Amino acid sequence: MKLSLEKATKRFTDKYSTSAEMAEEATKYIPGGGSRSIVKVGPHAIFVESGEGAYVQTVDGHSLCDFHNNFSANVLGHNHPEIRKAIEEVCKTGFSFGNATKHEFELARILCERIESVDRAVFMMSGTEACMAAATLSRAFTGKGKIAKLEGGYHGTSNDFWWSIHPDAPDFIHCGLETNPKPSPESMGVPEALRGNTLTMPQNDLTTCSRIIRENARDLAAVILELQSGAGGLITLEKSFVEGLRELTQELGIVLIFDEVISFRMDEGGLQKIFGVKPDLTTMGKAIGGGLPIGAVGGADEIMKLNESGQVFHSGTHHGHVLSCAAGVACLNNYTQPLIDKMNQQGQKIKTDLKQFVEEKNYPVNLTGIGSAIGFEMLDEPGRSIRSCRDIMTYCNEEASQTFNYELITRGYLPMWSRGQVVLCTPLTDDDISGFIDTSKAILEDIY
């Protein structure tokens, strides 16, 4: 590598020295300096003072074009006037109730109208809780206990799903062979006794997944998946793979859950509309709250009605919170298909232009993802095909990935995750996109 990680790190820390000081102070009171383990996007967190449109202002006095957008939640960018207005209107009359409000069912109505597979929906305060609720509903509906997930799939930090998000390359001792995977805890503190409740399966391998599902069908309540994974690497599932899982789960009476906490942004009807496959349950979050905390699970009425019959108890102090729901209504009313289409086209331009560039230069870089999410995978050699998180963990050049990530930030762009994933927001202009493409090319030339 021509540009070393050491040099990129120094450039980063020199430019964001005030953030570094704040990060050091924060560690005195917060373990790791932040309440989210992944808030660090470099050697330390970047502290921001404000955000407007597609930009954030840091405490260091720098403006960053935001390709992070709070882990994809801010689809309309920062401080959108209609979302701000909705929040201000609610705050005039009170903002925390133990009663129902109209904003809750208005947001549910929008989701039911937009997503074909969602007959009814309920709310909570995070995507983690949404996936927990989906697991409970699936178990109640089927009378079975196990859940199957794909390796690389992130469904929050509950013990049901906190397995095999980052399989342990290069030897995969803890995760087993790809054709015979075994769940590996993502963190200390996940009880070993729960290992048998969760099955893990490889991405885009229908043969292996079908065998695992059939072998466990008697005990398997649900299969959960992200149509496009995020935390475990940006992998888009193949349509034939998803269709095969839909057919198999229907045949065996197993609930199919699509986690659209991130991917809902791809279409008014979610990424499932683009795939043309209907799940039994859908979990949501992030974008549907307009940037405020929210989660939701919705789906077929025969499953969702368990919530009203008393068979499944669903509650939480802030579930259906009036501020989150009001912000969500304002967000979705302004997050229309023409804006989504434009943003997806911008994402495709980034991927197409940079893919052509790295192929011409013969750089070991793979561009992944569809729509408004793009992944940069720095690999060990050019031309590798990436179909699963195991491929990423096996072939990724972590040093090059970190160098690219740090340089993006130093040069004025805020990516998501350590490998330089980016997600777009609607205020981004064509000039912003062109600037990002040109900067990415310059960084890659400096690295390789």
* Residues annotated as catalytic (active site), given as ranges: 154, 259, 286
* 3-state helix/strand/coil string of the chain: CCCCHHHHHHHHHHHCHHHHHHHHHHCCCCHHHCCCCCCCCCCCCCCEEEEEECEEEECCCCEEEECCHHHHCCCCCECCHHHHHHHHHHHCCCCCCCCCCHHHHHHHHHHHHHCCCCCEEEEECCHHHHHHHHHHHHHHHHCCCEEEEECCCCCCCCCCCCECCCCCCCCCCCCEECCEECCCECCCCCCHHHHHHEEEECCCCHHHHHHHHHHCCCCEEEEEECCECCCCCCCECCHHHHHHHHHHHHHHCCEEEEECCCHHHHCCCCHHHHHCCCCCEEEEEHHHHCCCCCEEEEECHHHHCHHHHCCCCCCCCCCCCHHHHHHHHHHHHHCCHHHHHHHHHHHHHHHHHHHHHHHHHCCCEEEECCCCEEEEEEECCCCCCCCCHHHHHHHECHHHHHHHHHHHHHCCEECECCCCEEECCCCCCHHHHHHHHHHHHHHHHHHC
Q: Which two tokens stand for residue 181?
A: 């995977």
Q: Which two tokens stand for residue 347?
A: 């994402």
Long-range contacts of 87-90 (CB under 8 A, 24+ apart): 87/292, 87/323, 87/326, 87/327, 89/326, 90/322, 90/323, 90/326
Tell me the torsion sign for CA atoms 210, 148, 227, 377: negative
Burial of 102 from C-beta contacts in 10 A (0-12 / 13-18 / 19+) = exposed
Q: Rounded to an integer, what distance in angstroms lies between the CA atom of residue 16 and that of residue 60?
A: 6
Residue 78 has phi, psi (to 5 degrees) of -100, 140
Q: Which two tokens stand for residue 425?
A: 């927001």
